[in-house]
Amino acid sequence: MTQRLVGSSLPSEGEVAPRSIVTALGVLAAVVVVFVASGHGVYLAGALGFLVALLVSVCLHEGGHFLTARHYGMKATQFFVGFGPTLFSRRRGETEYGVKAVPLGGFVKITGMTPLEDVEPGDEERVFYKAPVRQKVVVLAAGSTMHFLIATVLVVGATFALGVQKEQAPAVGAVSQCVAPDPTTPAKAGADPVDVCDLPGAVPAPAAAAGLRKGDVVTSLDGKALSGAEALVRGIRAAPGREVVLGVRRGDRTLQLRVTPAAVEKASLDNARVPEMAGAIGVLPQSRIDVVRVGPAQSLRASGDVAVLFLTGIRDTVTEKLGSITRIYSKDRDPAGFVGIVGVGRISGEVLASKETAGVKALGLILIVASLNLFVGLFNLLPLLPLDGGHIAVALYEGARDKARRLRGYRGPFQRVDYNRLLPVTYGVAGLFLLFTVALLGADLFNPIRIT
């Protein structure tokens, strides 16, 4: 986000802050050593990978502002990644480039973002606020445009290079000793679990008798390949009292196991209020997901599906999850609700540390970064100061008002919005964003959302 800096303390040209760098590197090294020593090295790699991707996104966002501003002849005096104390800076031409200690954002300082700024002599005609409306809108929207491009490249590139997620043949997550009809009375919340063998009508589980084991992969049922856990469940339920042949992969071995599902009364999968006689063998199917390469047409279609999924998720979060903000510190925090940068970094680490295949992990991390870029791009276009969208709204309002006045015969100078009147609103919005960010940071640290 472009911004004006007041009273910034920056090193001189080419200056490096050695103590700051040594301190930052020392803290980072200590964190890495602790995580690796505790067996969380893979988790840390995922979180750091997300952080690097975030910083690259910030650089490209600011690069969009910077390049378009320079293209239109505006003066950009600073291009920094991060906030807080300066770790490193170098001047090239009229622009100072640098890195600051807190890697949670960045900024480009464009001279004269508003008429309130003091401008050095000779730069009066290169200020941002005097540029034509179209140029100002292009410069302001360039940051979000970069986020949209990043998201598009990541989603399309991932689906073409890696493929799409597809459910594989299910595994056996657990084998029971008994099967029984569904209980007539539901278990009370918090009650001790009831052993299936103690339920009325329980019979020995056919799966255990047939030799099925935890970890087996069930590849087929009566010669028909299984593409997911639901296919196995429905196939077994459709064969009460009838022998079926299960194709099983156990390590490097391929087995054919014959099993006769017991006939028990179960609630229908399609209507829980309707009982039916169904087959049961006493296994807990476990879904298995992998990434499968597909053709160009399918990759493009999958990319579109992912984009729709992202947009739907953002819409639902904003429209349906606002109430979950009050529960971010409670035990029933909504796992699909709001999450901050620290939380997303934690989730990235958990994805990389999960037991999924390498393809699923890579695709998951890429899509996390893509979805974040899409969200940030849209958020930054909200017509609220100090966001870029707020500045765009002001520029469009000034242009529309000027055109309307000239249609009525006005021939005077271009009339600009009085930013002094907007400052209270700007500070109020910025304060709310800051409070929300701090609240999410605390929740992510002390009441985190976990996916595993």
The residues assigned a catalytic role are: 62
User: Any idea how long the chain is?
Assistant: 452
Q: Rounded to an integer, what distance in angstroms lies between the CA atom of residue 176 and that of residue 365?
A: 35
Q: Residue 72: which of 122, 114, 125 has the closest Cα?
A: 125
Q: Rounded to an integer, what distance in angstroms lies between the CA atom of residue 98 and that of residue 16?
A: 9
**CB-CB contact of 333 with 447 (8 Å):** yes
Q: Rounded to an integer, what distance in angstroms lies between the CA atom of residue 80 and that of residue 441?
A: 23
What would the 3-class secondary structure string for 126-176 be?
HCHHHCCHHHHHHHHHHHHHHHHHHHHHHHHHHHHHCCEEEECCCEEEEEC
**CB-CB contact of 452 with 354 (8 Å):** yes
CA 424 to chain centre: 32
Q: Rounded to an integer, what distance in angstroms lies between the CA atom of residue 423 and that of residue 427?
A: 6
The DSSP bridge partners found for residue 224 are 221
Q: Rounded to an integer, what distance in angstroms lies between the CA atom of residue 167 and that of residue 169?
A: 7
What token pair was written down for 239?
Answer: 């064969």
Burial zone of 399 (CB within 10 Å; 0-12 exposed, 13-18 middle, 19+ buried): middle
Helix (H) or strand (E) holding 245: strand 244-250
Could you write out the DSSP letters of every residue in 296-330? HHHHHHHHHHHHHHHHHHHHHHHHHSGGGGGGTTS
Q: Residue 11: which of 75, 62, 78 has the closest Cα?
A: 78
Phi and psi based region of residue 190 (left: phi greater than 0; alpha: psi -120 to 50; beta: remaining): left
